[in-house]
Structure 1
Amino acid sequence: MTAGDDELRTALESANLPTLLLVLERFTGDPRWLADPYRPSRTKGLDDNDDGGFPPEVRDRIREAAFTVLTEWRDGRRALPEPPPDSAITGLLSVSLGETVPPEYGPGMAAEAGFHPRPEVRWTAGRPAAADRMHVLVVGAGPSGLATAATLRELGIPHTVVERGGDVGGVWAQNDYPGAGVDTPTHLYSYSFLPRPGWTRYYAKQPEILGYFRHAADELGIRPTVRFHTTVTDAEWDEAAARWDVTLRGPDGTTDRMRVTAVISCVGVLTEPSVPELPGADTFAGPLFHSSRWDHALDLTGRRVAVIGTGATSQQIVPAIADAAGRVLVFQRTPQWVAPNPNYRREVPEGARLLLEQVPYYGAFYRIRLVWQFQDKLLATLHRDPGWEHPERSVNAANDRHRAFFTRHLEAELGDRTDLRDKVLPDYPPYGKRILMDNGWFRTLLRDDVELVTDAVTGFDAHHVHTADGGRHEADVVVLATGFRTSAMLASMRVRGRSGATLRDHWGDDDARAHLGTTVPDFPNLFLVGGPNTFLGHGGSTIHVTECSVAYIAQLLIRMVEDGIAALEVREDVTAAYNAEIDAAHEGLVWTHPGTTNWFRNRAGRVVALSPFRGVDFWARTRTPDLAGFHLTPAEPDPAAG
């Protein structure tokens, strides 16, 4: 710690007291800091509960005790304590959050906090020389690709990363429209092995997020392994050689081939824009583009901007451009549930950043509080209760309370504008679609220069957007905030497996299936990060899911080297049973509610993108691979070893 006394006292005024109490307990070993009068109130909703519900005099005692302990440690008069044992973590969190955190979360929370690395992602007895004969191709240098490359580099497994763009960052390099940002708490949206305590916002915007991943690529030494402006066009399994033959297209359009042991796809689901086919789009006289292809040379000052869609992207763009544009027309396809969040537009105070950066365990405890608050806690309220008397509006009593809460917020924001209320109030259960954070959305709709149009867009002419009611709405610019082709996984490449069939032959256009979202029958040594049924619709960080998948894949690669396995292919019956379990679980969840449409489902109504399981369950399932679920091809003996 470099902070002086005055600086530390000032910083403690910005402390999250339920987190600070956990630090106090660690340093002192005194259980009184977890008992009355120091038990925080329950952390509710999306709030951090910074003051813990304590009266001023109790807050002062907590801060003063923390000041004493931390200055003693800083000045060498107190030793740094060990992190808590896994078995104690959920008890500590239960007190800090004011509710019970189940004990099975302890080991995963410890890994998420960085208290210890995953012991299973290690060579059994040092790196074998046989690892030199392996070469892995990683497709994509976004958040998942960087995590994968970092793990391979740590293990010393030779690898190459190909990235179609000109920089790392993936979705955050591609989506740089005005207002772009994360809707997961930023302090969760970083690798457990490379936390960033210095975030400037509780929900960071795109430039800062992209900066983090650029820093990660440099800090972890990944950039030298990346071939930029390079795409995979084809990958074909060579059964005789037990290798993938991959065709790459480089920046100049030329192609070359690479033979690799394994392919790890990290292309994600938010990569291929969904562009509706609307008549007259090619006749529109002004700029017309998808939100992920934003033209930053375009000056919106005084112009009439039409934004098609009211999902997460639109709700970030519209408030960001309203001041500059002359008029904004928002074309709503479906109303969205919008949650109030006191932290969404809030900057992290300088004092809080100091505590996160310099106080031992403070950042780790703060992070795992968020894991519970924003990840698995919600899932229990999204199960469809067959006896619920209002199934048309909600799926159970708790979900109905969510509905009432969100509705009260909507009505408070819109005031006497009942005309807008009727337009933007959804008629489906909360969380049936991705829940959105209110960043001033409702207040933006109240502006005189913003108009909400609820009739369906039917086409364009040179200067107008046409709607189903016969309306013609003047526009100078059209932004398609229409999302992505999330069900068309790996559609940008042709992948041919052991039988000669392609992934498209197996999956069709929109029905991707895999075991644990990572392995696919008929495709040996092909691994997916961010594959089907791994997205967390009930909240939480995709980084957590990524790290689980990467650790699982890394362990499979370790077993291949150490056990002399040339190829492993997940069994069809194992995969079928897993997907049957997924489909059955989804039948009881909000995302298959008959009154809801969402991008999580394919055309047949099957949920392709989301996991129906708790994050802790996915963590447990991916912790140690069971090779009994795979067909294994032994490697040929290495002549050099004889």
Structure 2
Amino acid sequence: MAVAEGTTPIDPTALRDALDVANIPTLVPLLFQLTGDPKWTRDPYRPTRPRGTDDHDDAGLPADVRDEIRAAVAEAVLAWAAGRPVARPAPTGRELLDLLTLSVGEEVPEEYEPMTAEHMGFRAKCPPTVATPGSADFHVLVIGAGVSGLTAAKHLRDLGISHTVVEKNPRVGGTWIENRYPGCGVDTPSYLYSLSFFPRAWTHHFGKRGELETYLDELATHFGLLDSIRFGTTAVSAAWDDDTERWTVVVRDPQGRERTLTANALISAVGQLNVPKIPDLPGLADFHGPVFHSARWPEDLDLRGRTVAVIGTGASAMQIVPAVAGEVAALDVYQRSPQWVSPNKNYFRPVGDKVHWLMENVPYYRAWYRFRLAWAHNDRVHASLQKDPDWPHPERSLNATNDGHRRFFTRYILDQLDGRPDLVEKALPDYPPFGKRMLLDNGWFAALRRPGVELITASVTALTRTGVVTSTGEERPADIVVLATGFEAHRPIRYDIVGRGGQVLRDLWGEDDARAYLGITTPGFPNLFFMYGPNTNLGHGGSFIFLAESQIDYITDSLCRMVNEDISSIECRPEVGERYNEALDQAHQRMVWTHQGMDTWYRNSKGRVVTNMPWRVVDYWTMTRAVDLDDFVVRHRPAAAGQAPGA
């Protein structure tokens, strides 16, 4: 983060007012940066370790110490604005690690230093470059204009690489325009669920769907990405031509006509969670009222006075139920298995103008605040998700730390459902915390306690014309049925892809066993790159946007090497892909998602985890920093007469 010296006048009153609401653990390291005074890194100014993922705004420090820190920051910022240079503008190495540890109140391992220094702007990032931007004989086709596709388009545009994006919807946004159900929003903090190169003054700490849609629309407009996108255009098939070493892609335009596009490289950015999973229920077509998947919520649906059945209690249902419980006449919630739920007092909390002021005017505030969110929500719990073979209570937890998590979350559920032992019996999970996707409490337990809301643990076996039939044989009336039943995460790519020698990707992967090196590339399919591909879902926490940036760094490095070195194709070596997936499977065998009795959408029909990544975020960032062409079969373009290859 480059900080200019004394270029913007700062109103002292506005500064002091804003500091009243500042996050103290964010202020302490930037105070050292501004002043260079080591006293701010020592007691009594060191923040304590926070509990859970709380912002820990007061740092666990006494009021008089917090006031002293605020006053010192005000003095330092005003001096900086008046022209005093920053004492430590780019801490790296041991100094940065000490500041990271200071800010979060616990030891930050050494392997986080390179990643954090780069993402905080303290060490320059060396992005790939193209020797001759705008080369007419190298073109990239991107399928999808959600988070991943827009990230790809922005980087390709910056590099001057010719590209086209095809998007089936009429505008950008991906999942945030397709999922429009009540309460829809992100369960990752807004300041973390945002691209590093496009900050925003978020209105809430956890953004709702509408603001996320706006954010992506503004991203596309700001960087001039719209002119490269063909909207209302669906990919039908893609085939690799061994002779021309190009992809031929058949697309269907808004008028239903099929057209052919060609490209040197293909980036599939369709994601894992884009195809609704519809249960095969008898009577589904006969139901008399609206019945739909949560990702296809009707725009004009009126719930007032209706009896609504929500089938499922996963992430979407967790948001829908509290949002509609006060509007409907009656609400039946059909639960296959209960969920562990984490409290977060920021879930509905708005981000005030004073916080926006701090982000825009106090040097390093945004960088340090974002780092703290990343530390709390990314890798912090990863070690606790490893099985301890000597742990005596595998029926309830994985290890001592995980057992502590269980006690904490159990106490929270018991507190929220106090006086309702019937709900406790239904809502308390019998598997280890994090065994399924950890959800945030957005009023879920309060909604379950409302009159007219019924949590039903019997499975749904059929629909009739007027209601829902359960495994007990009971038929319960319903006017509207919402299928909150998840997505076809094991088969997210619905267009045919044919690789070298006629190999069909669908045949290679089967119905539910997708595999890719780094989740990005697959042997037999040259110049084909996936974003949010197999085993890149973050099951232990964190923001996929961070992974999307890591993936596009790897992909663009590959593309730049191809352009600069006259490479016509790169294809992952089979042995490289096999070694990677063997290591991935072995890592998963040590993790919670393969724990005894676990059955989630993370696993395929054979029990293999095919969606989630077993690595830490820092591990994946390290793996994807740059392409190693030794991992690939590399083919060069034929040299022109009298010209050496690569010249």
What TM bracket, shorter-length normalisation? over 0.9
1:180 aligns with one of 180, 184, 188:
184
| 8 A Cα contact 2:275 2:492, kept in partner | no
Q: Which moved more, 1:258-267 or 1:79-88?
A: 79-88
Query: Does the alignment pair 1:388 with 2:391?
Result: yes
The equivalent of 2:115 in structure 1 is: 108
State the distance in 1 between where 2:9 and 2:269 align. 39
1:245 aligns with one of 245, 248, 252:
248
Give the SS at the match of 1:43: coil
Query: Deviation of residue 117 (structure 1)?
Result: 5.2
Give the SS at the match of 1:132: coil
1:538 aligns with one of 528, 537, 540:
540
CA displacement, residues 463-514 of structure 1 (integer Å, 9 cap, x when unaligned):
1111011111111111110010101131x10000002021111000110001
**2:221 partner letter:** D
1:74 aligns with one of 77, 81, 100:
81
- Structure 1 residues 364 and 255: alpha-carbon distance in aligned structure 2, compared to 1, 3 A threshold: same
The equivalent of 2:25 in structure 1 is: 18
State the distance in 2 between where 1:336 and 1:515 align. 31
State the distance in 2 between where 1:372 and 1:132 align. 43
The equivalent of 1:136 in structure 2 is: 140
The equivalent of 1:558 in structure 2 is: 560
State the distance in 2 between where 1:94 and 1:273 align. 42
Query: Does the alignment pair 1:163 with 2:170?
Result: no
1:633 aligns with one of 629, 632, 635:
635
2:276 aligns with one of 270, 273, 282:
273
The equivalent of 1:122 in structure 2 is: 128
State the distance in 1 between where 2:641 and 2:253 align. 35
State the distance in 2 between where 1:605 and 1:129 align. 46
Query: Deviation of residue 253 (structure 1)?
Result: 0.5
State the distance in 1 between where 2:85 and 2:120 align. 23
The equivalent of 2:265 in structure 1 is: 262
Match runs of 1:413-492 below 5 Å: 413-490=416-493, 492=494
2:92 aligns with one of 85, 88, 94:
85
| 8 A Cα contact 1:314 1:481, kept in partner | yes
The equivalent of 2:3 in structure 1 is: none
Query: Deviation of residue 70 (structure 1)?
Result: 1.3
State the distance in 2 between where 1:417 and 1:100 align. 41
- Structure 1 residues 78 and 585: alpha-carbon distance in aligned structure 2, compared to 1, 3 A threshold: closer
State the distance in 1 between where 2:610 and 2:209 align. 27
The equivalent of 2:516 in structure 1 is: 514
State the distance in 2 between where 1:2 and 1:200 align. 25
Query: Does the alignment pair 1:366 with 2:395?
Result: no
Query: Deviation of residue 377 (structure 1)?
Result: 1.2
CA displacement, residues 218-273 of structure 1 (integer Å, 9 cap, x when unaligned):
11111110000111111111011010011011111001101110000110001000
1:588 aligns with one of 567, 587, 590:
590
State the distance in 2 between where 1:436 and 1:638 align. 58
Query: Deviation of residue 116 (structure 1)?
Result: 5.0
| 8 A Cα contact 1:489 1:512, kept in partner | no
Query: Deviation of residue 112 (structure 1)?
Result: 2.4
Aligned residues: 637
Q: Which moved more, 1:400-409 or 1:347-356?
A: 347-356
State the distance in 2 between where 1:264 and 1:640 align. 34
State the distance in 2 between where 1:328 and 1:144 align. 36
**1:154 partner letter:** D
| 8 A Cα contact 1:137 1:264, kept in partner | yes
CA displacement, residues 322-347 of structure 1 (integer Å, 9 cap, x when unaligned):
11111111111110001111111211
Q: Which moved more, 1:353-362 or 1:246-255?
A: 353-362
| 8 A Cα contact 2:274 2:492, kept in partner | no
The equivalent of 1:52 in structure 2 is: 59
State the distance in 2 between where 1:127 and 1:253 align. 39
Query: Deviation of residue 405 (structure 1)?
Result: 0.5
- Structure 1 residues 280 and 639: alpha-carbon distance in aligned structure 2, compared to 1, 3 A threshold: farther
**2:168 partner letter:** R
Give the SS at the match of 1:596: coil
Query: Deviation of residue 369 (structure 1)?
Result: 1.3
Query: Deviation of residue 565 (structure 1)?
Result: 0.7
- Structure 1 residues 110 and 68: alpha-carbon distance in aligned structure 2, compared to 1, 3 A threshold: same
| 8 A Cα contact 2:516 2:534, kept in partner | yes
Q: Which moved more, 1:200-209 or 1:574-583?
A: 200-209
Give the SS at the match of 1:23: helix
2:526 aligns with one of 506, 512, 524:
524
**TM (normalized to structure 2)?**
0.96
CA displacement, residues 506-528 of structure 1 (integer Å, 9 cap, x when unaligned):
00011000101111000000001
- Structure 1 residues 101 and 363: alpha-carbon distance in aligned structure 2, compared to 1, 3 A threshold: same
Gaps of 5+ in 1: none
Query: Deviation of residue 77 (structure 1)?
Result: 4.9
CA displacement, residues 424-450 of structure 1 (integer Å, 9 cap, x when unaligned):
111111101000000110111000121
The equivalent of 2:5 in structure 1 is: none
2:223 aligns with one of 196, 220, 223:
220
Query: Deviation of residue 562 (structure 1)?
Result: 1.3
Match runs of 1:607-622 below 5 Å: 607-622=609-624
2:410 aligns with one of 401, 407, 410:
407
Query: Deviation of residue 113 (structure 1)?
Result: 2.4
Give the SS at the match of 1:341: coil
Q: Which moved more, 1:568-577 or 1:107-116?
A: 107-116
The equivalent of 1:204 in structure 2 is: 207
Query: Does the alignment pair 1:145 with 2:116?
Result: no
Query: Deviation of residue 130 (structure 1)?
Result: 8.0
Q: Which moved more, 1:347-356 or 1:235-244?
A: 347-356
**2:484 partner letter:** A
Give the SS at the match of 1:633: strand
**1:468 partner letter:** S
CA RMSD of aligned residues (A): 1.5
State the distance in 1 between where 2:228 and 2:343 align. 42
The equivalent of 1:286 in structure 2 is: 289
| 8 A Cα contact 1:69 1:78, kept in partner | no
Identity of aligned residues (%): 48
| 8 A Cα contact 1:113 1:192, kept in partner | no
Query: Deviation of residue 86 (structure 1)?
Result: 5.1
2:500 aligns with one of 493, 498, 501:
498
**2:445 partner letter:** F
Query: Does the alignment pair 1:230 with 2:233?
Result: yes
| 8 A Cα contact 1:290 1:481, kept in partner | yes
State the distance in 2 between where 1:332 and 1:584 align. 32
Query: Deviation of residue 3 (structure 1)?
Result: 5.1
- Structure 1 residues 635 and 449: alpha-carbon distance in aligned structure 2, compared to 1, 3 A threshold: same
**TM (normalized to structure 1)?**
0.97
State the distance in 2 between where 1:107 and 1:77 align. 28
State the distance in 1 between where 2:410 and 2:9 align. 47
Query: Deviation of residue 127 (structure 1)?
Result: 2.7
CA displacement, residues 569-615 of structure 1 (integer Å, 9 cap, x when unaligned):
00000000100000001011000112111111111110001111111
Query: Deviation of residue 91 (structure 1)?
Result: 1.7
Query: Does the alignment pair 1:192 with 2:201?
Result: no
| 8 A Cα contact 1:356 1:362, kept in partner | yes
CA displacement, residues 385-406 of structure 1 (integer Å, 9 cap, x when unaligned):
1111110111111111111100
State the distance in 2 between where 1:473 and 1:68 align. 66
| 8 A Cα contact 1:111 1:192, kept in partner | no
Give the SS at the match of 1:348: coil
Query: Deviation of residue 81 (structure 1)?
Result: 5.6
Query: Deviation of residue 131 (structure 1)?
Result: 3.5
State the distance in 1 between where 2:399 and 2:174 align. 38
